[in-house]
C-alpha cells in the first residue's frame, strides 16, 4: 500500500521521520509545494519523496496532518476518496501566534501552551473530519501524542503505545499494520465515536498520554 502525508510541519515531518527510520515509503506534501521539502527529504533519505498535495492525497493511505482550520481549504478540489483510508491526525485547536493577546487570556486554560480549543458544539472532531472526506474510510491516529516523540517508538524499555480508532475493520487492520511496522505498540480504542473523543486534544481523557508496552 502506498502512503501519503499531507502536512510537513511538526506532526507530518515527524511521522515521516518515524516511517523513514523503518524504511517505510511515503509521499509528503505541504501547502508550499514539493521544492520547499528538499531539506526534509534530503534528511530522511530515499523512502520519503516530496510530492504535490494531489499526489499525496491519491495514496492508498493518506495521513492528514494540517491545522484544523486548514481542513476545509485542503479538501476542496481533491479527487474522490473512493473508499481509500484517511488517517485523521488532526486536533481541533488553534495555534496562537507568539505575540497574540490570546496568549494572556485568563479564560483560556491552554494559553500557556500556545493553543486554544475550537468549540465544536456537541460534535467530536473526527465526526466533523469524516464529513469533509466523504467516501473515505477514516481512522484516527497519531494525534494524541506530542509530535516530537514519534520518531522514538522505543521508550522506557518498551514500545511506545499508539492508539487508533475507526469504524471500518479492514481499514483499522491496515492502519494497525502501519503503526506496527513503524515500531509502535498499537492499541485499538474502538469505534470512531468512542476512541476519537478519548484521543482528541485538548480535553480527551487519553490526549497527551504516554504509555509504553514493556
Ligand X SMILES: NC(=O)c1ccc[n+]([C@@H]2O[C@H](COP(=O)([O-])OP(=O)(O)OC[C@H]3O[C@@H](n4cnc5c(N)ncnc54)[C@H](OP(=O)(O)O)[C@@H]3O)[C@@H](O)[C@H]2O)c1
Contacting positions for ligand X (CB under 6 A): 6-12, 30-32, 36, 53, 65-68, 70, 73-74, 89-91, 93, 143, 146-147
Q: Where are the beta strands (DSSP E) in the chain?
A: 3-6, 26-29, 48-50, 61-64, 85-88, 93-95, 115-117, 137-141, 154-155, 158-166, 185-188, 212-213
**Short-list 120, 134, 86, CA closest to 204:** 120
CB 33 → ligand X: shortest distance, Å?
7
Tallying the residues shown for the chain, one arrives at 214
CB 159 → ligand X: shortest distance, Å?
19
Structural contact between residues 129 and 150, judged by C-beta atoms closer than 8 angstroms: no
- Which SS3 state, helix, strand or coil, does residue 32 take? coil
Nearer to ligand X, 114 or 183 (CB): 114
Which residues on neighbouring strands pair with residue 162, listed in sequence order?
Answer: 186
CB 148 → ligand X: shortest distance, Å?
6
Nearer to ligand X, 6 or 179 (CB): 6
Nearer to ligand X, 146 or 193 (CB): 146
Nearer to ligand X, 146 or 169 (CB): 146
Nearer to ligand X, 57 or 171 (CB): 57
CB 72 → ligand X: shortest distance, Å?
9
Structural contact between residues 36 and 197, judged by C-beta atoms closer than 8 angstroms: no
CB 89 → ligand X: shortest distance, Å?
5
Amino acid at each position: 500500500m502506498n502512503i501519503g502525508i499531507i502536512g510537513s510541519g511538526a506532526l507530518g515531518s515527524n511521522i515521516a521521520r518515524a516511517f523513514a527510520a523503518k524504511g517505510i515509503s511515503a509521499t509528503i506534501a505541504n501547502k508550499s509545494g514539493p521544492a520547499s521539502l528538499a531539506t526534509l527529504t534530503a534528511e530522511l533519505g530515499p523512502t520519503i519523496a516530496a510530492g504535490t498535495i494531489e499526489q499525496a492525497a491519491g495514496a492508498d493511505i493518506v495521513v492528514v496532518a494540517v491545522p484544523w482550520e486548514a481542513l476545509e481549504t485542503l479538501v476542496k478540489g481533491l479527487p474522490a476518496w473512493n473508499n481509500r483510508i484517511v488517517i485523521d491526525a488532526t486536533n481541533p485547536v488553534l495555534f496562537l501566534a507568539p505575540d497574540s493577546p490570546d496568549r494572556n487570556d485568563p479564560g483560556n486554560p491552554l494559553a500557556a501552551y500556545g493553543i486554544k480549543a475550537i468549540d465544536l458544539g456537541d460534535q467530536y472532531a473526527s465526526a466533523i473530519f469524516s464529513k469533509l472526506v466523504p467516501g473515505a474510510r477514516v481512522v484516527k491516529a497519531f494525534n494524541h501524542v506530542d509530535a516530537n516523540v514519534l520518531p522514538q517508538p522505543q521508550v522506557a524499555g518498551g514500545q511506545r503505545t499508539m492508539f487508533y480508532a475507526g469504524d471500518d475493520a479492514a481499514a483499522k487492520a491496515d492502519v494497525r499494520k502501519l503503526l506496527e511496522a513503524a515500531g509502535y505498540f498499537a492499541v485499538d480504542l474502538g469505534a470512531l465515536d468512542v476512541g476519537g473523543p478519548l484521543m482528541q486534544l485538548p480535553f480527551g481523557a487519553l490526549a497527551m498520554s504516554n504509555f509504553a508496552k514493556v
